[in-house]
Amino acid sequence: MRLVKILVSVAVSILILLIPTESFGITGLTIVEKRVIALFVLAALFWVLEPIPIYATSVLIIVIELIMLSNKGFILFRNDVGNPGFGTLLNYKSIFSTFASPIIMLFTGGFFLAMAATKYRLDLNLARIIIKPFGDKPKFVMLGLMLITAILSMFMSNTATTAMMLAILTPVLALYDQNDKGRVALALSVPVAANIGGIGTPIGTPPNAIALKYLTGSEALSFGEWMSFGVPFVVILLAFAWGLLSFLYPATTPKVTLNIKGKFIKNQKAYIVYATFAITILLWLTDFLHGMNSYIVAMIPVAVFSITGIINKEDLKKISWDVLWLVSGGIALGLAMEKSGLAKNLISSIPFENFSPLLIIGGAALLTLVMANFMSHTASANLLMPILAALGTSVASLAGYGGLSSLIIVAALAASMGMSLPISTPPNALAHGTGAVNTSEMAKVGVIIGAVGLLLSFLTIYVLNLVNFIK
Amino acid sequence: MDKLTIIYVDDQREVLSTISKDLQVFEKYVALEECESAHEALALLDDIEGEGDHVAVIISDHIMPGKNGVEFLAEVDTDVRFPQTKKMLLTGQATHQDTIRAINTAGIENYIEKPWDAENLVDSVKILLTKYIFSVGIDYQSYSPILHQPTLLNYLSKQV
């Protein structure tokens, strides 16, 4: 099965390479651009069918670009350089630099913060004090649980947050009456809150960071600017999700108690972790005062934790290189589409000007949401964002609706709302694995939240346009 | 997909077939191998390693003709080819001294007394398998149904 998927994907892209450029119906399509199309199709098929791990597909993209599309690639692939209709090759250095692009470093900074927080139990201790005021009524315990999950997933990976919260929840679920629907609500509340919470900050989930990559120049957003609409979005959608879960799966058990053991660690290193965490976030929110952008601020915790030994060389090995490389591959794909001229060429050959701008924005959001339900959120963003970026800059009629910014933000939000199946996201798979929730229950909740979230994202960009936040 | 193996060693045929029955849930995902002696098991370990496959879990009886269980597991423990292999002693006749040696020199991670409860055995094997998968870094998702949930969550919550 795996081999079939690989063979079919590779065969399709080789076929594209063999078709003469004239038969694509895109005027002025160059050889290089055709190679980019073949690469894009290969990446899309691999990310959808997943015959190899999704990060491996990203690595493959970068290596294929280096060999087939770069100015230092395999000699037979650049025999015709300079010929009319060949196009321009990419600089190999810019392909390599996708491994360390600013958004990758932003995520690295986020990883350091998350690792230090976990190592010094800041996450667990925050969970314990935040959950306390919510009492022991199942409905309110769930609200507290969703709140802390959402907050943590703004700074930690959605998967790690879900795993931690489900680990706390498992003993409770085991004691619960098997027929009490409240069990379903509790088990579902964690992945739902983690997926929604990730939207809150640029480092909450990779699609947000990928979105920032495509918002440059006058459209660029700072960390604080993202949070200024991200956090309200999270709060509203979280409140809705809580209401929905309480309504669909009301609990009959009168009392639940979550038992989170531990106390705040009080030693020098722990204090450094708390302080660095607070200062980094503060600096992220106050770039207008000190002038350092979020990418540069992200390096501060990396330096502090390395110098103090809070993150040692064993911890370094735990960095999720797969996530970083997955994003790098997406950036490299976007780079190839932009620099080869394919993105612009492709958009101009389809008469998007004739479509209503609202239809374009709505269609982009819906397409992203559907894709994110069936494949990795990050891979969906990797594939769609480069096309949307070209669309946003070249279709003039979009300008009145926020143009590029609207398209990219809506797609980033939609990518996080793909949560209707166990395969949609790792958090969903973990919740499904507890055995407390079945696929149809998950689908019901996921589809409703996805639909409401999509409407809310349209409302968000409408408001942002109204207040001239995006132009 | 990486091929994982669970090996169980006991000199009594009926014990082996009971274990096989108990471990049926694993059948679809990992290879189950029966051995009647430590000697046979060592030869099998050699073969599996030579194929480049994984010996994830070894379950061994203690009192057996030839090499006993603790000696066998101690030998595996010091073998550089199997640093992550998880070991379990399943026996009714080990003395206090044997048990101490099993923990100190054979590096066993689990001890189950005969007669055993099937559910307990399955749970313990799930824990060991989950630990093996994470310590070797195999993609856990393809093994989800046979992993121990709390152990899995514990590992994932520590990943960034």
Distance from CA of B74 to the nearest CA of A (A): 28
Taking alpha carbons only, the member of A197, A183, A195, A115 closest to residue A148 is A197
The mean pLDDT value for A240-252 works out to 96
What is the Rg, in whole angstroms, of the alpha carbon atoms belonging to chain A?
Answer: 23
Cβ of B149 within 8 Å of Cβ of A160? The answer is no
Identify which of B139, B141, B149 has the shortest CB distance to residue A170.
B149
Is A305 at the interface with chain B, CB within 8 A?
no
Mean pLDDT across A398-419: 92
Q: In the A/B pair of chains, how many CB contacts fall below 8 A?
A: 53
Nearest by CB to residue A167, choosing from B139, B154, B160, is: B154
A187 has a chain B CB within 8 A of its CB? no
The torsion defined by the Cα of A205, A207, A210 and A215, in degrees rounded to 10, comes to: -110
Judged against a pLDDT cut of 90, whether residue A268 lies above it is answered with yes
pLDDT at B1: 67
Q: Could you tell me which of A295, A266, A446 has the C-alpha nearest to residue A369?
A: A446
Closest residue on chain B to A165 (Cα): B157
Q: Which of B139, B154, B160 sits opposite A115 (nearest CB)?
A: B160
Judge whether residue A108 has pLDDT over 70. yes
User: What angle do helix axes A426-433 and A182-197 make, rounded to 10 degrees?
Assistant: 160
The average pLDDT across A80-90 equals: 89
Domain B4-157 maps to which CATH number in 3.40.50.1220, 3.40.50.2300, 3.40.50.2020, 3.40.50.720? 3.40.50.2300
Looking at residue A471, what is its pLDDT?
58
- The answer to whether the beta carbons of residues A50 and A375 sit under 8 Å apart is yes
Which residues fall within 8 angstroms of residue A91, CB to CB, at 6 or more apart?
A: A70, A71
Token couple for B34: 């029966």
A160 reaches B (C-beta below 8 A):
yes
Residue A53 contacts B where some CB pair is shorter than 8 Å: yes
d(CA A310, CA A434): 33
B137 → chain A, closest CA residue: A318
Mean pLDDT value of segment A76-93: 90
CB contact under 8 A, B160 and A318: yes
Residues of B in contact with A435 (CB under 8 A): 149
Distances (CA, A) of A205 to A154, A197, A323, A379: 8, 9, 10, 12
pLDDT at residue A263 is higher than 70:
yes
Segments making up each domain of chain B, as ranges: 4-157
Q: What is the pTM of this model?
A: 0.90
Q: Measure in Å the smallest separation between the Cα of A401 and chain B Cα atoms.
A: 37
For residue A163, give the nearest of B139, B144, B157 by CB distance: B157
Question: Which of B2, B148, B152, B153 to mutate: most A Cβ within 10 Å?
Answer: B153
Which among A319, A320, A430 has CB closest to B153?
A430
Positions of chain B with pLDDT lower than 50, given as ranges:
none
Distance CA(A113)–CA(A276), nearest Å, equals 8
Using CA coordinates, name the residue in chain B closest to A321: B160
Q: Is A111 on the interface with B (CB under 8 A)?
A: yes
CA A231 to chain B, closest CA, distance in angstroms equals 22
| Other residues' Cβ atoms within 10 Å of the Cβ of residue A346 | 21
What pLDDT score does A463 carry? Answer: 93
**Predicted pLDDT of residue A468:** 81
Q: 3-class DSSP state for residue A161?
A: helix
- What's the confidence (pLDDT) of residue A308? 97
Answer whether A434 sits within 8 Å of B159, measured CB to CB: no
pLDDT confidence of residue A81: 86
Which member of B152, B157, B160 has the closest CB to residue A164? B157
Banded model confidence at residue A201, pLDDT cuts 50, 70, 90? very high
Judging by DSSP bridges, how do beta strands B110-113 and B31-35 pair with one another?
unpaired
Interatomic CA distance for residues A293 and B122, integer angstroms: 53
Q: Of A18-27, A291-300, B97-106, which range is least confident?
A: A18-27
What would the mean pLDDT of A131-160 be, rounded to a whole number?
A: 94
pLDDT at A188: 97
Of B149, B155, B160, the CB nearest to A433: B149
Within A176-248, residue ranges assigned H as helices are: 182-197, 206-214, 223-248
Residue A429 forms contact with B (CB below 8 Å): yes
Q: Is the dihedral of CA B56, B61, B66, B70 positive or negative?
A: positive
Q: Cβ contact (<8 Å) for B160 and A160?
A: yes
Mean of per-residue pLDDT scores for chain A: 94
**Looking at the complex, does the CB of residue A316 fall below 8 Å from at least one CB of chain B?**
no
Instruction: For A401-470, give the DSSP string.
Output: GTHHHHHHHHHHHHHHT--SSTTT-HHHHHHHHTTSS-HHHHHHHHHHHHHHHHHHHHHHHHHHHHTTS-
Q: What is the pLDDT of residues A310-366, one digit of tens each?
A: 999 999 988 999 999 999 999 999 999 999 999 988 888 888 888 888 999 999 999
Q: How many CB atoms lie within 10 A of CB A345?
A: 20
Residue of A nearest to B147 (CA): A433
Q: Return the ∠ at Cα A98 (arms to A95 and A100), rounded to 5°.
A: 135
